[in-house]
Structure 1
Amino acid sequence: MFCSSTTWSWILVLSVFYSPVVSQSIIKTLPGFTGELPFKLETGYIGVGELDEVQLFYYFIESERSPKDDPLVLWLTGGPGCSGLSAILYEIGPLSFNYANSSGNKPTLLLNPYSWTKVANIIFLDAPVGTGYSYAESWDGYYNSSDTSSAAQNYEFLRKWLVAHSMFLSNPLYIAGDSYSGITVPIIVQEVSNGNEVGNQPPMNLKGYVLGNPFTDVIYDLNSRVTFAHRTALISDQLYESTKRNCKGEYLFPDPSNAACIEDLQVVSECIAKVNRPQILEPKCDEFSPKPNKLWGGWSYLSEISIIDLLTSTPQVPGPWCRNYNYLYSYIWANDKTVQNALHVREGTITGWDRCNKSLIYAHDIIASIEYHQNLTKKDLRGLVYSGDHDMVIPYVGTQEWIATLNLSIGDSWRPWFVDGQVAGFVTIYTEKKYSLTFTTIKAGGHTAPEYKPRESLAMIERWFAYYPL
């Protein structure tokens, strides 16, 4: 992949201006994995914000197929505050824990055959500041974090990263993420697009964005839990019709003086209280999930405060298996000093690694990202929104409702798509001039879908990147 003399000239100027990569290292081996890694892993820090006071940590994994041709993806895990390492180990990355052969303080790793790095180059970013191994050099860096500031810093990060990795400038670029990233990803896409239009350097080959089980609008997403509970037989027809009638469809912020509505919502809450919201068919882990004191409980659905205590005091967790137990290994592994040294994490920059940092000082200054989606429909872009259809954290029915507000034309109506001859989900394709949006469910997927249905999720993304029908 070659650059013109003009391109090289601005790369040199930007390199001097940005000093983009303070550190970058190629990681060939990792504790817990036997032998050398069969893929190219690079880690590093890039400074963003005033005087580069925020140091964002990233993991870059080259495509295992054709790095120079395959898409480049910037991946942001949700939260806010969930580490890119969580996505690598539990969702779309090339590694996962070998649960059968891991015990105590010795987690072992194996390869994930359904990694999205089979078909794409992926930058997994620890953002916003305070996430994973990212840190700030002053307290101000932590206190000024918000949806808009994080999106701006992520855009700055991407510009600097591409200056340092100019060989990927011509690759198709997609901004992607899941869960709470449904707020920040559309903002970043708009910043990249607007930056290209006004001539910001380097020019980016932006093609679109990908969102999984995305938190988009507090009303649509959380209000839809009642409808979802009815569709999945968690509440009765009679209760649903009564609740809908008495609450007039307003379940999130009901009129407190409406006694009939409040009573119905209390019954609904009792029906779903013991249901595992990330995947309604799996066991609920009371050890890690706070007791619900109201129907909604915001978008935070896991509490992992006592995980390390549990690990050190209980050799085996009693009772039914719960998916939350898989997350225990990441705390042991990512907090191990030999692992941090192998990843070239700067010593003394964090007090401890959390899969999802619940103590972020973070301002939610964007309540809904629908307006950003509406702006993007006017551009030559593609979007992919996928939802695990057994997710009650961000139900697919709420996602369908906000997509309907975009007033797009339906190019391909709701239909099944298949993997190995079996229904993998249902897809609808929307269009608006040069813009297209693919919405699909992933059958039996939870929050988020690739963790539960990795084979189907890889088939989905591979086909979509290739402009091939699901």
Structure 2
Amino acid sequence: MAHFLFILRLGPLAFAQKTFNGSLPILVSAPYSWTKFASIIFLDQPLNTGFSITSTSKCTDDLQASNYVYEFLLKWFDDYTEFISNPFYVSGDSYSGIIIPVIVQLISDGNETANKQLINIKGYTLGNPATFPEEKNYQIPFSHGMGLIPDELYKSLKENCKGDYQNISPTNELCVQYLTMFKKLVSGIYDLHILEPLCGLDSPNQQQLFGERRSLGEDFVTLKNDDSICQESRVAKLELSFYWANNPKVQEVLHVIKEKIERPWLRCRRTMKNTTYKMTLMNSIPYHINLSSEGYRSLIYSGDHDMLVPFQSTQAWIKSLNYSITDDWRPWIVDGQVAGYTRSYSNHMTFATVKGGGHTAPEYKPKECYHMFKRWITQQPL
């Protein structure tokens, strides 16, 4: 969501304090904001996420959501024509790996249909992107490589499941048995960053951790997990975001139409009241193929400690495009230290890992991601 990006990932602001003290959380300038070298439009989508609202349809899907973004961009550039000539890139992470390639394709097709440059699209970036249905199959080799499961279990899983851990026949009892063992072993792992404590805030059960009362202070959301380890982790920053985003003064400055907002802002709203969103596009690889053939640049990066969309699955679909390598696997450096590894291809696609990064790499490694994106956007080698 746009607010989360704006404050906690790559936007211009950060929280000055570590924990909530009863007052409006204090904001300071973020030292590694991508806005220092790029103008960024932060957009809440699909509709009814964040503070976005609609006066029309309450039902949407992946393609319709992408069309809404394209329509918004056309209207935005119509209002701010001074930016039309600027190189334009579309960025996102996680499930945006499905949506972003569609949006870029819509922009490209729109320019071609109009026979003029409506939007000066140059490429796109994606972080730990969801891309194709079989990505969970790569959680097993990831877990083995990270030392979460033993060699014997990994070997048994490979032999009995044949590399497919999603479409399992109930008659394959050994595969079911070993997969149950695997799930038990990793049940205490935070899959968005395996080194972080499992505090539950980003899980489907986050509603159990937070109340949804409207007023700030005692009557508002309270973190129910009192574990000191969780309080010292990123959870404390996320709690601050709840208080900040739901403060009436903040919402007034953000021009939030309060009567249209039915519930308090949440970091990740798993269900959207009065909205039916259908995930209809399961594979965005064909869009990457089309966009590559049209010459668009792309940066695909993976926090290497993310188990939800492991870097192995991202490497696999990139390899399936079958483009030749122009800059082979090598480390990329920040302040004299290895920040990750990278490889570039003849279709103008660059893949990079972010060492120590999770599912949302800029949140965990802001300095490294700042330099990675700045080098790429200015067409310098990582």
Tell whether the structures are fold-level matches, with TM greater than 0.5: yes
TM range (shorter): over 0.9
Q: Distance in 2 between matches of 1:370 and 1:185?
A: 12
Q: Distance in 2 between matches of 1:328 and 1:197?
A: 45
| Paired residue type of 1:263 | Q
Change (3 A) 1:244 1:380: same
- Of residues 86, 102, 108, the one that matches 2:4 is 86
Deviation at 1:96, TM superposition (A): 1.4
* Count of residues paired in the alignment: 370
Note if 1:142 corresponds to 2:58.
yes
Could you list the runs of 5+ residues in structure 2 that have no partner in the other structure? 213-217
Q: 1:327 aligns with which of 232, 238, 242?
A: 238
Instruction: Give the structure 1 partner of residue 362 of structure 2.
Output: 450
Between the aligned partners of 2:225 and 2:138, the Cα distance in structure 1 is: 37
Name the CA distance, whole Å, in 1 between partners of 2:361 and 2:35: 17
Q: Secondary structure at the match of 1:96?
A: strand
Deviation at 1:314, TM superposition (A): 6.1
- Residues in 2 aligned to 1:170 and 1:363: alpha-carbon distance in whole angstroms: 35
Residue 397 of structure 1: how far off its partner (Å): 0.4
Q: Which residue of 2 aligns with 1:280?
A: 194
Equivalent of residue 264 in structure 1, options 161, 174, 178 = 178
Query: Is 1:344 matched with 2:262?
Result: no
Q: 1:304 to 1:94 in 2, by over 3 A?
A: farther
Superposition map of 1:398-413 within 5 A:
398-413=313-328
Aligned to 2:261, the other structure's residue is in SS state coil
Higher relative helix content: 2
**For 2:158, which of 244, 259, 275 is the aligned residue?**
244
Quick one: distance in 1 between partners of 2:223 and 2:64? 41
* 8 Å CA contact retained: 1:308, 1:328: no
Q: Secondary structure at the match of 2:243?
A: helix
Alpha-carbon shift at residue 95 of structure 1 (Å): 0.7
Q: Name the structure 2 match of 1:441.
A: 353
CA contact (8 A) 2:24 2:247 kept: no
Identity percentage of aligned residues: 42
Write the letter of the residue equivalent to 1:463. R
Distance, in Å, in 2 between the alignment partners of 1:391 and 1:198 is 40
Instruction: State the match for 1:176 in structure 2.
Output: 91
- 1:132–1:354 CA contact under 8 A, matched in 2: yes
Distance 1:388 1:257 in 2: 36
- Could you tell me which of 101, 108, 113 is aligned with 1:186? 101
Cα shift readout 1:42-86 (whole Å, capped 9, x = no counterpart): xxxxxxxxxxxxxxxxxxxxxxxxxxxxxxxxxxxxxxxxx2001
Deviation at 1:452, TM superposition (A): 0.2
The equivalent residue for 1:371 is 286
Bigger RCO (CA 8 Å, 6+ sep): 2
String of CA shifts for 1:66-111, please: whole Å, max 9, x gaps.
Answer: xxxxxxxxxxxxxxxxx20011111100111123364235311111
- Tell me: CA distance 1:229–1:108, structure 2 relative to 1, closer, same or farther (3 Å): same
User: Alpha-carbon deviations, 1:187-228, whole Å to 9, x = none?
Assistant: 011111111111166622111000011111121x21110010
Alpha carbons of structure 1 residues 179 and 302: separation in structure 2 relative to 1, 3 Å: farther
Post-superposition offset of 1:391: 0.5
Spell out, residue by residue over 1:334-359, the C-alpha distance to the aligned partner (whole angstroms, 9 max, x if none).
11111111111223111132222211
Separation in 2, partners of 1:173, 1:100: 35
For the 8 Å contact 1:95–1:110, the answer to whether it is kept is yes
TM-score (norm 2): 0.92
Pick closer, same or farther for the CA change 1:200–1:303 going to 2, 3 Å: farther
State the one-letter code of the partner of 1:356.
C
Kindly report the root-mean-square deviation, in angstroms, between the aligned alpha carbons of the 2 structures. 1.9
Are the counterparts in 2 of residues 308 and 331 from structure 1 also a CA contact under 8 Å?
Answer: no
**2:173 maps to 1:255:** no
Give, in whole Å, the separation in 1 of the partners of 2:202 and 2:287. 33
Aligned partners of 2:205, 2:322: CA distance in 1, in Å?
35
Residues 314 and 345 of structure 1: CA distance in aligned 2, closer, same or farther (over 3 Å): closer
8 Å Cα contact 1:92/1:450 also seen in 2: yes
CA distance 1:302–1:461, change in 2 (3 Å): farther
C-alpha displacement at 1:306, in angstroms?
3.1
SS of equivalent to 1:418: strand
Q: Name the counterpart of 1:30.
A: none
- Which of 261, 266, 270 is 1:358 aligned to? 270
Structure 1 CA distance for aligned equivalents of residues 221 and 48 of structure 2? 25
Deviations 1:404-452 (A, max 9, x none): 1111111111110100000000001011xxx310000000000110000
